[in-house]
Amino acid sequence: MNATAQQGVNLRARDVCKSYDGQRVLNGIDFHVERGEVFVLMGPSGSGKTVLLKHLIGLEVPDRGEILIEGQPIHSPGVVDRYRLAMVFQSGALLNSLSVADNVGLYLSEHRLHPPETIARIVTEKLALVGLKGIENKLPSELSGGMKKRVSIARALVIEPQLILYDEPTSELDPLIAVTIGAEILRLNKRIHVTSIVVTHDRELAFGIADRIALMNEGELIALGPPDQVKANPHPLVQRFLQADFRFNPESITP
């Protein structure tokens, strides 16, 4: 992909609607993400976050509305190729048969963008950025859940992205490791000045790293703004989500 002068990008979702089999999943989603911002899409399961994420990276086409990158529709010819977009998947999506180094450098080697020695140097640099220097020869099966997440972030970094989209980056992680991943996202955003969009239902992560939060419910945005503003939003659905206790309580089970 061709580089542009700016490291981050502006992104806009404008009146985005999407239905599957007659059921509305996204209903008039409208927001903008500023260059260099950490923007969090938050909401309960089934609120439409993942579907919206697919639209933001160009994998889905809305029934109505559009996604704009730097003011240009994402599905216009050549627009995606003009910018460097990276995705960090919920599962990590690492290939178990490949070493960490081969996983991180896969895009570069598959597209023959650099000679092997250059790819090896880039891989080492990106692993060091996420605190994983020296694990190049390990297999994914030898890594903890948190390390796998950081390897997947390093893999996203090899293309020098202008926009990184994170899908549930703290899922299946214990709270201490989740805090580490959140700090990593924030640190990288400040260090490389990338635009970051984080999709999560993790409230601690959202309010810990976000410049702004968009809270979704049943395909609609019900709150949008800085964390403190969202917390103070009097909308009953907003307060219900923010105050809900998602911890497992064995005493709540009826014999």
pLDDT at 92: 63
Flag whether 134 is in a domain. Answer: yes
What is the number of other CB atoms lying within 10 angstroms of the CB of residue 218? 15
Residue 90 placed within a domain: no
> 99-108: per-residue pLDDT in tens?
999 999 998 8
> Can you give the pLDDT at residue 37?
94
- Placement of tokens 């990590």 in the chain: 92
Residue 3 has a pLDDT of 40
Asked if residue 110 is part of any domain, the answer here is: yes
Per-residue pLDDT at 223: 96
Is the domain of 5 the same as that of 126?
A: no
**How far apart are the C-alpha atoms of 248 and 246, rounded to whole Å?**
7
pLDDT at 99: 94
Do 105 and 129 sit in the same domain of this protein?
Answer: yes
State the pLDDT at residue 169. Answer: 86
Both 17 and 58 in one domain: the answer is: yes
Q: What single string gives the DSSP state of each residue in 35-74?
A: TT-EEEEE--TTSSHHHHHHHHTTSS--SEEEEEETTEET
Q: Can you say whether the dihedral through the CA atoms of 77, 81, 83, 88 is positive or negative? A: positive
138 and 234 inside one domain: no
Q: Alpha-carbon distance 174 to 181, whole Å?
A: 11
Q: Do 24 and 65 meet the contact criterion of CB atoms below 8 Å apart? A: no
Type and span of the H or E element at 148: helix 145-157
Query: Closest by alpha carbon to 180, among 228, 147, 143?
Result: 147
- My answer on whether 43 and 99 are in the same domain is no
Final residue belonging to a domain, choices 136, 159, 182: 159
**Amino acid in position 149:** K
Exposure of 250 in the CB half-sphere (CA atoms within 13 A): 0
Q: Which domain holds residue 110?
A: 95-159
Q: Which residues, in sequence order, are CB contacts of 171 under 8 Å at separation 6+?
A: 90, 202
Apex CA 224: angle with CA 221 and CA 225, to 5°?
175
Residues of the chain where predicted confidence (pLDDT) is lower than 50? 1-6, 247-250, 252-253, 255
Q: State the angle between helix axes of 116-129 and 145-157 in degrees (0 to 180), rounded to the nearest 10.
A: 130
CATH number, domain at 222? 3.40.50.300
Q: Is residue 204 a part of any domain in this protein?
A: yes
The answer as to whether 214 is a domain residue is yes
